[in-house]
Every structure is written in C-alpha cells, then in structure tokens.
Amino acid sequence: MANRLAAVIALIPVFWTLTQGADVTESEVSSLAGVSVKLTCAIGQGCPDVHSMRWYKNEERVFVLSPRANISRAENSLVSRAVLDFKKGASDAYLVIDKVELRDEGLYKCDITYIAITDRCNAVNYINFTTLVKPENITVYDGDVIIPEGKYDRVFTEDDDVTLTCIGGRGKPVPSVQWWKDGVLYNANTAIEERDESGVGTGTNRLKFQVTRADLNVKYECRVYHPALDNYISSSTQLEVNVRPNRLVLSGVEHHVVQGTTVLLKCEVFGARPPANVKWFNATMLLAPEQNSTRLNELPERRPLTKLIDNGDGTYNTSSTLVFTATRYENEATITCEATNEVAASRREVPLREMIKLEVLYPPLVWVVPDNITVNESTDVLMFCSYESNPSSILDVKWFKDDVEIEKDPDSSAVMTDHTLLIKNSTRDDMGAYSCSLTNEVGTSMSNSTTRVSVHYKPEVNVTMDPQSPIVEEVVTNVTLSCNVMAGNPPDLVKVRWFFNGGLIEELPNCTNETLCVDDPSKLLLMNIDRQMHGNYTCMGKNEAGWGVMAEPSELVIYYPPSQVSLTYHPQRVVKRGSVTLVCAVKEIGRPSNTTFRWTRGSHTVMDVTTANWTIDPVTLETESNFTCTALNLGGESESASVYIRVDAPPTFIERLPMYYGVVMTSQNISISCRVECSPICSIKWLKGNVNIYDLPNGKAKYWVENRMIPPDTRTNDFQSIHSTLNWNMTAWPKGYLDRMLDNANYTCSSTGNSAGGGVKSSAFFAVEYPPENVTLSNTVVNVIEGNIPEKVICQAKGFPEATYDWRRAGETDVVVKGGTFLLNLPVSKRNAGNYSCRAQNRHGEIFGYMFINVLYKPECGITRKEVDGKTVLVCTAQSNPPEVDFVWKIKNENETVEDHIENKGLQSFLTLESRVEQFRTYLCYPNNSVGVTKKPCEVDVPGAGSIWMTLDTETIMILIAILAGIILVIIIIIIIICIVCRRKQATDKCPNPTGNKDLASSPNDALLPNDADKAFYENLPFHNMANPQNKRMMNGEPSTGSRHHHSHTHHSGGRTRRKHHRRSEMDNCRYRPGSAPASPPPTNRYVSPDSPPHQNPYQAPHYPTYTAPRSKADYTFIKFHDVGQEIDV
C-alpha cells in the first residue's frame, strides 16, 4: 500500500502539467443549514479515467480521492460529514455534505487530475456555496402590542396617529421586510437590519401615519422576502377605524298637508362609523326612541323607522323615516332631525341638524248642543251644530236623526236654518239621537256628540212567564209573570193590574205606605203551582203619561203524570214456543195526553216496546221472568205494576242419537248418550229393539245408565234438561268383545211426558265394525307380451265398513290405479314389469295383497370380440324374457348361415373364426326366444388376415396416431431452429466484427457468433451459406436490403432514433443477396456519425436487381436457445 501511494505522489507533477490547458467551470449553490447538500464537480463526456480528485473550501482541503490508490476521505472541517459520490466513467462527481453548518459557507474548488492528456475535460470546478437560514416567523407590533393576523381588536378614531412595526424572523442573509397597502408597496417607511457575527439577523420595517377616512377597510400587509423561501411570508391586518358622519339630508313635506294623509319625513345621514344615532323632535319634545326595522307598516304612528346601509368601505348610511298621519295637532308644528355618533360625541362636536315646519289643513271638528232634551208630546225642540276648522269657511250643513239624514221639506215639522234645527209640535216619532255634519274645502266631518230627544207617551205591554209554559207540576213550584213594556215613554211602570181568565186578581204595588213601597209592579209570583192554576193570564200598565191598554192573554200550561196502572196477561198457561200477551191498563192519562209505556223484563228495560199491550211470540226461556210496566208522559210517570210468568217446556231432544253408531268389535269403552229438555222434569229409559235393556237376559250386568240433571241456559234458550248415557260393560260379554252378527241392533232413548206434552224417542242402529282381512287377488302373476294390454286383476277383502282399494308399484308412493280392479288400458313395455301391491283399508286398518307383472319381449343383443389361443372369438350376448334363447349366425350380404364352431351358453353364443380368413366380413347374430326373433340383428366387422390395422382395436389405433403426430412435430421444430441458426451464421460471415472482440456484450450482432472452437460445427451444418428467400421481408415491415428505395424512409427527430435506423441499414447492406459475388469489400473501421445520411456510408454495396415482395404482413418469432454455454438471440 505504501509503495502504491509513493508511486502516485511521484506522478503528481506530470499529471498537473498535462492538465494545465483544461477547462474551468464555475457555479453557485446555496442550501439551508441542517440539511444535506450535493456539490457537483463536472467531469465531461468521454474523458480519460480520473487519477485523483481534490476538494478545497477556500484554502483548506476538505476531501481527497484517488481511485488507483483506493483513497476516498474527508478532511478538516468536513471530517465525518462529507462523502464523495463518484463512479468510474461518469460525467459528474458529487460532494455530499451532511447536516450543513453555517461555517460550511465558502468558495469550493474541485481539482481533477486525469491519467491521460486531454483538452476536452474539466480540470477545475469552482462552486460558490452559500448557507441559508430560513426565517420562520413574522411579528407585527402596534407600539408594544403584537397585532394578530386578520382584524386588529383596537379601534382607531379618525385623526389618530399610528405606528406599525414589522419584524422578520432571524435568517441568513437578513430577510427583506416591506409594507404593502392594499397590494401596493408602501414607501413611506423605515427599514432596519440587525445581524450577528455568523451573518444571521432580523429585518425591521416601521410604518408611521395618521388615520383618515381613506384607511377604512384597508389591508396593511407586511411581507418578508428571503432566498430560502419559495415565496414570501406575510402577516396582514385590517384596522378598525371609526369616522364621524359627514352629511345630513332631511326631506319629505315641501308645502302643506291634509289631515288624514300619511306624512313621511326622511332623514339620511352619510359616511359614519359606527353608524350615526338619529333623534326626532317635535319642537323641543323628543319623539319615540328610534327603532331598527325594515317595514314601514310595522311601525306605530310617530315612531321613527331606522335602517342601516353598509357602504362596503366600513362606513354606514343611516336612513331614519318618521311616518305619521297628519292631524290638526301638527298644524304649525316644527319637526327636527338630529344626528351624531361616538366620534363626534367624543370630540364634543355639534350634532348635524335639519328641521321642517308643517301646515295641516283639516275638516271641521263638530259637536251638538245641548246633550239631552226631554219634553211632552206637542212641545217645540231647538238644537245647535258647533264647529272648529282650517280653513274656517263652511260650505254645507246636514242634520241626522238616528244616523238618517233629515230631508229639507217645507211641510215637515223640522226647520233647519244656518247651524240650528227646530222641531215644532214634537211627537213620539221625533224621539231619537240627533247629529250634524259640516263641510269645508278639506272635507266633511260628523259631530262627535249627539243630542238625545225624549218625548213622553202611555205604555203598551205584553205578558211573559219564567219558566216558560208548559210547566211540569212535579218539577216546578213557582212561576213569575212579567208585564213588559213594548212601547211607552218613560218605559218604567208605576202600577200594574193582573187578570186570570178575564178576572182581576191583583193590582200592584199593593202597599199601604207608598213612600216605603219598593215592590216591582211588573212582576207577579205564582207559588205552589198545581194543575188548578192552568189558564190565561194578562196585565195592564201605567207610567207617568197614564194607563195603557190591556195586553194579549198568555196561557199557562201545567203538565201532570198518569194515574197508577194495572198489569195482566193471557193465556194463564204459558208454554215454550207458544205466545202470551201482557196488558198494562191506566185510568187517567194525565196532561199531555200522549202517554207511552215503559216495560221491564227482570232487571232489563225493553226499549222497543212502548204500547199498552205486549205480545211475546214465540215464548222462550227469557219469558219465564218478572214483568213490570209504567205509564209515562211529559208530566212524569205513574206508579208501576208487576207480574211473574211461569213457562212450561214439553219434552224435546237437545241431543238426539245418531242414526248409525259403529264401534270396533274389540272396543272396551262403549257408550251412547242423549239429552231431553222438559219442564217440569221428565225421566228417560233405554230400549234394545223394543225391549227395556234391564229386561234383557243378563241386561243389568251388560249395561248401566248414567243420568245427569242440567239447569236452564239462557244463552242457548234451553230449559232444564236430563242427560242420559248408556254404557256397555264389556267384562260381562262373552270373550270380552262384541259379536259381529248378534250385537248389531237398534237402541232407543225414550222419555216420559209432563204437563206440557208427551214423551219423545230417538233411535240409533248399533253396528259392530272390524278392519279389512283375508285379502285375495284373482291372479298373482300376470304374463303379458310387450306391446299388449295385460288382463285385469281383482282385489277383494272382508271388513266393515266396506274397504276401499288402491294399487301402487313396489318402491313407489304414487297411486297407479284406484279401485279393487287393476286394469291398464294401454300397451305395456318391459319397463312396466315388476311387483305391484293392492291396499284394502277402512277407518280401522289396512291390509295388502301382491302381484307380479311379467313382460315378455324379443331378445336384444350386442357383439364383442376377443382372442382365445390365437384365434378370434365373436361373443353375441342377448337380453331376453323369457331367458331361453337360440342363436343364428350369418354373414352380411351372403346367403350363408354359419353353423360350425358355434357354442351356445345361456344368453351368450360364441363363434370361433378360422385364422385362414383373409377377406373383410361383417358377421350378424340373430337371437330368438318364444316371443320371436330380435327386431334388429347385432353385427361386427372382421378384417382379413393381411391388414394389420384392422386387427387392432380402436384404442390402440388412437395411441399409435398420437405418437406418430408427436414425432412429426418434434422433427419440424428441430428443422426450423437449424434453418434460423444457419441464416444468422451466414450473416455474421459476411459482416465480421471490426474490433475482433468476441465479447457477447460488445454488440447485439456479436452475440450470434460462436466460439472459434465451435465454428466448424456451424459451417458443417446442412443449411450453411443458404441464401435468403427472395420474398422474405424484414422485421417491422421494412423492405429487403436489395431495395433501392431504402433511403426514402422517414428519419425521426433525435439522434438516437436516426442512429438506430442507420445501423440497421448497414446490417441490411451486409446481408447476402442472390446473384452477388462471394467476395465483397470489407467494412471499414472508420467511425461514421449517426447523423450522416445513407449516401455518405464509406462502404456502398453494388447495385443489384430490385425485387418487390408482396405487401403481406409477415409474422416473426424470437427464439432464445443456449449453445456451448452462450445465449443467442434469433
């Protein structure tokens, strides 16, 4: 290692001398501190190998590289922080510094020494490396207060002095700080830079200005610029600026207004922030406080509507509208609008103010005097219409009585002059409320008061009652009669006379001392009302004008209930399903006479019966109950009457015996029952035939009876009944079960009669039942020839009740035939053969019988072939029913029957062939049985002895064909591969490698050349030097190399594409062409530029006749195979 280093050091002066004329490059690089940076040392393309490379920072060496000495190390300030990215033959080398520090900044020099003399490669690179520190933040101050991003919370007032200071975070180099106003650079500011020894510092920019209206809605932005930033960083703020209002405009009324019209005064204040406050004054009186709203019709009168309008620049216009209806009270009034805001108030400035003086024209304000006038009939009445108005001149006067205008009529008693009304000789028709209306040029007004004229006259009365007639005697105890004034003035009565059915009964008030009398003479109280007070009542009244006329009579109607009733019914004997009539009688019907009746059965009221007579048909269990009737009218109800009805029921069956009752002979629990309704109750006895069961031999031992009394049931309308059950005691019967013949009989349930009717009977036939047994079939095996209809088979069994039948095939659930007779009406086939079952069943059980259908059919056969002792044996196998089969062998197309060498074994026949048979033959086999000969003979082809293929079976032939096809395919593939290799070998012989390098990686074409040791092998191949076919086309559809028009191909842009095309053209020129001389000029070693056109090629092949191949697309396959350890592309 030491010797190698000494040799390198000894050669340094030589190499330095050789590189003095090389190029020098300069570049600028900057990087953030703390990250990695890559400094580039440009070497160049096609340069000799680098002997050594040295890196300097300023005058300090920081890295040295010597590939041949295997030296690569960082030195001095870059020790352990720098590596050199260098690859032999690369055009650039890179010094990578990890975790850049501020002290790494400086002028770096890359000094390169090559192993050969060159003037085309860089020897010295200068890189001016600058370290950067990126400012991370920006801070804006208002004095000592930090202003956040966005809007500043402090509110400035117009004319305030403001100082904004912006400081950019520490950076290297010192960041540049600028103020921008609404996107425009602001120059009226002061910039300051502060930095430490390492060059890291802050930038400060201070902005001073006085706040004006122009600062409204303005964005102040501080921007920090720095080389390490992709873009500037900024912090912006928008100042909150308040300004005073600058103008007030009051508009609305220009001249006079008319009372009743809507007056709209609008006060507009402009350019205030915060919004101006608007106040309205009527003279010196402040009107209602301002109210923010957007709808005029929501404002009460004389309350201003204030609306704020945002101008978009931060200021507001305040629009205040005062809406009111003009009245006479606003005439000569002065309305003032006053506006100010916080800015003006804080500076104690006088508010903005405008005023308007109103003139209101209004119609007359009218009233009538005097208020009330009371006179007797025939007295004169005088009234006056007084007023106030602007203008004061009156154009028209009208008088009204009860809101109806009084017409001016010379014959009328009402006389109107100027503003007065005179009524002469007043009557009761002149009573009423009088008013007037006056008209000036503004309008007409009615008087706001009236004069009520009252004229006294005698009363007219009528009579009313409380409560009103009719009156119920049992409910109302007192009645008040009122004598009401219908007409009369005054309406109050001072005396009243009362009359009953035309006679005077009382004059009120009835007081001995009239001074102390307080009774109301218009009221008469009738106490303790009874039916005797029924009649007509009337009255006569007196007021201050005298006694009036008698009123029309009013009838007092008094209701009272009917008298007590009596209740009877008929007939006296009531029977179920008969009828009964109840009669409710009353002596006096009462008042009113429309009397009805209420009926009650038991505790339930019968709603649908209201007459005196009630007929019940038919009589049911509900009829046996207590009945009550009551007479009713609007005056009340009578005392009730009741009666109890008893109902009898004749014997009737509720549960009859069934007409048929069957039981299994082996049953042990046997009973039969009936139920009979009868009231009074009856008794039941049981009969077998016509004999009482207890009179039968051993009857008391064989039977016993259970009787149960059942009470009435209103739900089913059943009276009391008796339920009787006849039970069999099977222990007393022979063998403990019933006899199929002797125990079949009629049993009867018989009841006695009662007072309502005679007895009843119900009979049932009692039968002994048993399950099917002894099943028999008319035939158990049915033989039928295929295609025929089988004979019918009858299935019978003994049982009670009678059994039902169905047929099924063995192993299947579907019913084939229903009924006892099995009959198929269709021809059968051999698939219909098999076992069938007949099922006989009733409700007590089932039993089965079985039969077999045997389908006979002609034989069916097939022939197989086998070798036995070197001889061919044909085997004919038959399928047949019956299985007894005979066989006949024949040869097809020959009238010859084969009789020799035949052996029959059951359903098979064996034919042994002689080996001397040399001709192809077809053998036929004819099996036959008792049904007949097979429909179609089976056959087999037998080849002659001379044909080997015919002796093979089908499977062996298919295997041989597959093997033969595989061998042919392998041969074809080998031939294709050999042809391709030979053609490639021929091409390389014509165009040898100019460098003589056998390295496979040197050229794509060289990869096809074999080693020298194997060259003879390729030259001795049978297809060596074989010419290319004349119609062969090149890959990618290019024409053959013999074409004269190859130079017309389009040259793509870019040197790489043109170089590839040019090289392919050179290869095309080296290929063998039909008719060319074996010897061709050797290729030159001179380098040809890829951009040179084809005609400048130093080797030009001689001209040959052109062959144009058909324009059909050719498919090519790329094959890779290995030979002698080398991979060859074909």
Look up residue 722 and give its amino acid: I
Burial 315-340 (b: 16+ CB within 10 A, else e): bbbbbbbbbbebeeebbeeebbbbbb
Model confidence at 1066: pLDDT above 60: no
Q: What is the pLDDT of residue 192?
A: 84
Q: What is the pLDDT of residue 419?
A: 86
Model confidence at 994: pLDDT above 60: no
Tell me what the pLDDT averaged over the chain comes to: 81
pLDDT tens digits along 621-665: 999 999 999 999 999 999 999 999 999 999 999 999 999 999 999
pLDDT band at residue 5, thresholds of 50, 70 and 90?
very low
For the chain, percent of residues with pLDDT exceeding 70? 82
Whether residue 340 contacts residue 312, with contact meaning beta carbons closer than 8 Å, is answered with no
The two three-digit tokens of residue 897, written as one number: 């029957």
Model confidence at 1106: pLDDT above 90: no
In DSSP terms, 265 is beta-bridged to: 322
The two three-digit tokens of residue 912, written as one number: 């042994």
What letter does residue 658 receive in the DSSP assignment?
P
Cα–Cα dist 612/603, whole Å: 19
Residue partners of 709: CB distance under 8 A and separation at least 6: 681, 720, 721, 722, 723
Model confidence at 202: pLDDT above 60: yes
Model confidence at 1105: pLDDT above 70: no
The two three-digit tokens of residue 46, written as one number: 């096609």
Q: What is the pLDDT of residue 1053?
A: 37
Nearest to 985 by CA among 1016, 1014, 1033, 1025: 1025
Cα–Cα dist 322/354, whole Å: 14
Cα–Cα dist 1055/1037, whole Å: 22
Summarize the confidence of residues 167-189 as an average pLDDT: 86
pLDDT band at residue 1081, thresholds of 50, 70 and 90?
very low
Cα–Cα dist 611/583, whole Å: 9
Which residue is it, tokens 């960041």?
175
Summarize the confidence of residues 511-517 as an average pLDDT: 58
Cα–Cα dist 327/350, whole Å: 32
Which residue is it, tokens 């053998």?
923
Domains within the chain, CATH numbers bracketed: 2-132 (2.60.40.10), 138-242 (2.60.40.10), 247-358 (2.60.40.10), 362-449 (2.60.40.10), 456-554 (2.60.40.10), 565-645 (2.60.40.10), 649-768 (2.60.40.10), 770-845 (2.60.40.10), 854-950 (2.60.40.10), 952-1039+1103-1130 (no CATH)
Cα–Cα dist 1015/732, whole Å: 128
Handedness of CA 649, 655, 660, 663 (dihedral sign): negative
Model confidence at 949: pLDDT above 70: no
Whether residue 241 contacts residue 211, with contact meaning beta carbons closer than 8 Å, is answered with yes
Nearest to 913 by CA among 905, 902, 904: 902
Q: What is the pLDDT of residue 836?
A: 94
Q: What is the pLDDT of residue 982?
A: 87
Q: What is the pLDDT of residue 713?
A: 93
The two three-digit tokens of residue 892, written as one number: 């097809």
Model confidence at 685: pLDDT above 70: yes
Q: Strands, DSSP E only, in 419-450?
A: 420-423, 432-439, 444-446
Of 168-177, 390-399, 934-943, 1078-1087, which range is least confident?
1078-1087
pLDDT tens digits along 426-479: 888 899 999 999 999 888 999 999 999 998 888 999 999 999 989 998 888 899
Which run of H or E residues covers position 1017? helix 1015-1019
Say if strands 471-472 and 558-559 run parallel, antiparallel, or are unpaired: parallel
Cα–Cα dist 684/764, whole Å: 16
pLDDT tens digits along 289-330: 654 433 334 444 567 888 999 888 889 999 999 988 888 888
Nearest to 422 by CA among 476, 470, 383: 383
Q: What is the pLDDT of residue 1127?
A: 42
Whether residue 232 contacts residue 319, with contact meaning beta carbons closer than 8 Å, is answered with no
SS3 string of 444-476?
EEEECCCEEEEEEEEEEEEEEEECCCCEECCCC
Model confidence at 213: pLDDT above 90: no
Nearest to 242 by CA among 347, 343, 316: 343
Cα–Cα dist 266/248, whole Å: 10
Whether residue 278 contacts residue 290, with contact meaning beta carbons closer than 8 Å, is answered with yes
Nearest to 41 by CA among 92, 86, 84: 92
Residue 150 sits at φ, ψ, to 5 deg, of 100, -140
Q: What is the pLDDT of residue 896?
A: 79
pLDDT tens digits along 521-548: 899 999 988 888 899 999 999 988 888 9
Nearest to 574 by CA among 624, 503, 629, 506: 624
Q: What is the pLDDT of residue 260?
A: 86
Summarize the confidence of residues 922-947 as an average pLDDT: 85
Model confidence at 113: pLDDT above 70: yes
Of 237-251, 417-431, 995-1009, which range is least confident?
995-1009
The two three-digit tokens of residue 704, written as one number: 């016993």
pLDDT tens digits along 58-84: 989 999 999 888 899 999 988 989 999
Cα–Cα dist 55/65, whole Å: 9
User: Crossing angle of helices 954-990/1055-1070, nearest 10°?
Assistant: 100
Residue partners of 576: CB distance under 8 A and separation at least 6: 618, 619, 620, 621, 647, 648, 649, 650, 679, 719, 756
pLDDT band at residue 513, thresholds of 50, 70 and 90?
low
Q: What is the pLDDT of residue 984?
A: 81
Rounded to the nearest 10 degrees, how much is the dihedral formed by the CA atoms of 735, 736, 741, 742?
90
In DSSP terms, 704 is beta-bridged to: 727
Say if strands 647-655 and 636-637 run parallel, antiparallel, or are unpaired: unpaired
pLDDT band at residue 332, thresholds of 50, 70 and 90?
confident
Q: Strands, DSSP E only, in 490-557?
A: 495-500, 503-508, 523-526, 535-543, 546-550, 554-556
Cα–Cα dist 25/28, whole Å: 11
DSSP tally for the chain: helices H, then strands E: 7, 82
Whether residue 133 contacts residue 170, with contact meaning beta carbons closer than 8 Å, is answered with yes
Residue 52 sits at φ, ψ, to 5 deg, of -160, 160
For the chain, percent of residues with pLDDT exceeding 90? 45
Nearest to 451 by CA among 533, 354, 397, 386: 386
What letter does residue 951 receive in the DSSP assignment?
H
pLDDT band at residue 148, thresholds of 50, 70 and 90?
confident
pLDDT tens digits along 223-269: 999 888 889 899 888 888 899 998 999 998 888 888 888 889 999 99
Categorise residue 1023: left if φ over 0, alpha if ψ from -120 to 50, beta otherwise. alpha
What letter does residue 217 receive in the DSSP assignment?
T
Model confidence at 1098: pLDDT above 60: no
Neighbours of 99 (CB within 10 A): 11
Whether residue 156 contacts residue 182, with contact meaning beta carbons closer than 8 Å, is answered with no
Q: What is the pLDDT of residue 104?
A: 87
Of 558-567, 592-601, 751-760, 893-902, which range is least confident?
893-902
Look up residue 957 and give its amino acid: I
* pTM for the model: 0.39
- What is the length of the chain? 1130
The two three-digit tokens of residue 449, written as one number: 């008061």
Which residue is it, tokens 């080997």?
948
Nearest to 981 by CA among 874, 1085, 1121: 1121
pLDDT tens digits along 540-598: 999 888 889 999 999 999 999 998 999 999 999 999 999 999 999 998 888 998 889 99
Cα–Cα dist 1029/1042, whole Å: 12
Model confidence at 516: pLDDT above 70: no
pLDDT band at residue 794, thresholds of 50, 70 and 90?
very high
Cα–Cα dist 726/669, whole Å: 11
Residue 693 sits at φ, ψ, to 5 deg, of -60, -30
Cα–Cα dist 545/703, whole Å: 114
CA distance to 107, 298, 575, 749, per residue, from 680 (Å)? 144, 93, 11, 19
